[in-house]
Amino acid sequence: MTDQKPSRREAILHALVELLETDPGARITTAGLAKSVGVTEAALYRHFPSKRKMFEALIEFAEEAVFSRCQVILQEQEDVRVRLQQLVHLVLVFAERNPGLCCVLTGDALMGENDTLRKRASQFFERLETQVRQTLKEGEIRQGLRPRTTSARGADFVLVFVEGRIQRFIRSSFSRLPSTDFDESWGLVAEGVWG
């Protein structure tokens, strides 16, 4: 069995994520990124026409990784309460395994970048909120679960929990893991949603 060497494109993205993890909040330059990969800036641009495209590739990776797994949870799990718990846990564990990506998804790493790039990153959480809202509506229809409020407000409440945990993770320089005490915390969130 041979270990396949990652492609240059993957190596560039990996180096970008490592820079985001080791120095959160610092502005990433193509010169610094090229140095960490061990290539010239011209070599970076052969794989990505712009730094924006590098960040977009990271966002696309996060979306594919999280939302493909969300679909599996939705197909396998009948109980909406368990579905929602597993969806939220999935996102929090993904965040703690990918700290550099958290900085991109929350927009922290995109300050000073193109505004459309920050909007693109925010679509990750908008898509997640839509999924949560649909799950809550499905609970009402299929299981007769009555949330304390509308499914839109319930989804908002869940996303505040998720985004808050991820922001705290970043703010703590990745020391306060998002999934810490998840079961207890989720119990409080679920009580807030369904009573």
pLDDT of residue 119: 94
Q: Could you give the CA distance from residue 162 to residue 89 in angstroms, rounded to a whole number?
A: 9
Quick one: average pLDDT of 44-53?
92
pLDDT in tens, 107-163: 999 988 888 999 999 999 999 999 999 999 999 999 999 889 999 999 999 999 999
pLDDT of residue 25: 76
Give me the DSSP letters along 91-147.
HHHHHHH-HHHHHHHTSGGGTTS-HHHHHHHHHHHHHHHHHHHHHHHHHHHHH----
pLDDT of residue 156: 96
- The superfamily (CATH) of domain 54-192 is Tetracycline Repressor, domain 2 (1.10.357.10)
Q: Could you give the CA distance from residue 3 to residue 107 in angstroms, rounded to a whole number?
A: 34
pLDDT of residue 1: 46
Higher pLDDT, 3 or 56: 56
Is a pLDDT exceeding 70 seen at residue 98?
yes
